[in-house]
Structure 1
Amino acid sequence: MTATPSGQDFVDEMIAAISSLHPAATLEAKALAHRLRRVAHRLETELKRELAPHDIELWELELLACLIRATPGHRLSAGSLMRQMQLTSGAVTNRVNQLERKGWVTREPDPDDRRSVVVALTDTGARRAEHVFGTKTEAENALLAALPPARQQRMNEDLRTLLVALEDRA
């Protein structure tokens, strides 16, 4: 849904419709929670659309990016991937299996624990990710262009504070 001419959005309409059902003190948090979910959904949808012509899924690029950032050697344990991507062990296993079939990652024995394996980025996987990173970055910049850089920085600081508090509770 697009913004109305008055600058209001769907959440404003929803809050107006339910304002008599909730204490006024809770409405701001409710509106913020709804907007965060809607923005996250729109960002993810648009990023997927931008990546589709490159034949790569957003989750694939994010997993490859985790490995690219991992030093030394572009290797991570499944546990590290679980934490970074906020997934279950089963989801990580499934995703690694899919990327292994594409030749983008391999499983290798963990040099520190012979009972474990690490997921390692292949040269093919690194080239694939690097080829598409620019597209994702351009899309992110375009999607957030309605906010000037100073406002983006302020929102980043506020959202970091919120995320740290939420992650500390988990």
Structure 2
Amino acid sequence: MTGLHTDAQLQAKALAYRLRRVAHRLETEMRRELAPHGIELWELELLACLRRAPGHRLTAGELTGHLQLTSGAVTNRVGRLEAKGWLTRTLHPGDRRSVLVALTAEGRERAERVFATKTDTETRLLSTLPPDRQRTLNDELRTLLLELEGPDGEASDHG
């Protein structure tokens, strides 16, 4: 290999670099905006996942899939939020080997108080692109993610 890249390789490299920078900027700004509210981005994402679920509860395994984390990471995070009173863990009545994680009223209220901050930050950061271009970019990224992750990846793209 001579180190020379084709146009397709250069385009892929540039796109990957920009996607990483945008993702980093979004996450950094989100953390900064949420800090005064005393909530971490990962905490809000876990609460939002449960808020969207039927009955505001999911099994630990379902959380693992939705959040794209290891079972150990989910167990750790669930334990930390359970200690704050934002969710509960119980044995699944239909399968004693499975744990149900449910949002508490306090957890739901906590998340709802800061959802607007997250939404406002996302809107502010992405407002450089007009709505039609945001829609086009969103559609293109959804197509890419479907190719990379399959349809199950779509379940975790809202929050």
**What is the TM-score of this pair, normalised by structure 1?**
0.85
Deviations 1:65-105 (A, max 9, x none): 0100011x211011111111110001000100100110001
Cα displacement (A) at 1:117: 1.1
Cα displacement (A) at 1:21: 3.6
Aligned partner of 1:12 in structure 2 is: none
Cα displacement (A) at 1:112: 1.8
Matches of 1:128 and 1:21, distance apart in 2 = 53
* Identical columns (%): 67
Aligned residue identity for 1:56: I
In structure 1, stretches of 5+ residues that fail to align are 1-19
Matches of 2:8 and 2:149, distance apart in 1 = 24
Aligned partner of 1:87 in structure 2 is: 69
Aligned partner of 1:59 in structure 2 is: 42
Aligned partner of 2:100 in structure 1 is: 118
Matches of 1:52 and 1:21, distance apart in 2 = 45
Aligned residue identity for 2:68: Q
Which stretch shifts more, 111-120 or 28-37? Answer: 111-120
Q: 1:87 aligns to what SS in structure 2?
A: coil
Matches of 1:164 and 1:24, distance apart in 2 = 24
In structure 2, stretches of 5+ residues that fail to align are 154-159
The one of 120, 145, 157 aligned to 2:127:
145
After superposition, the CA RMSD in angstroms is 1.5
With CA pairs under 8 Å and 6+ residues apart, which has the higher RCO, 1 or 2?
2
Aligned partner of 2:157 in structure 1 is: none
Cα displacement (A) at 1:137: 0.4
State which structure, 1 or 2, has the greater radius of gyration over its C-alpha atoms: 1
Deviations 1:1-47 (A, max 9, x none): xxxxxxxxxxxxxxxxxxx7422331001100110011001100000
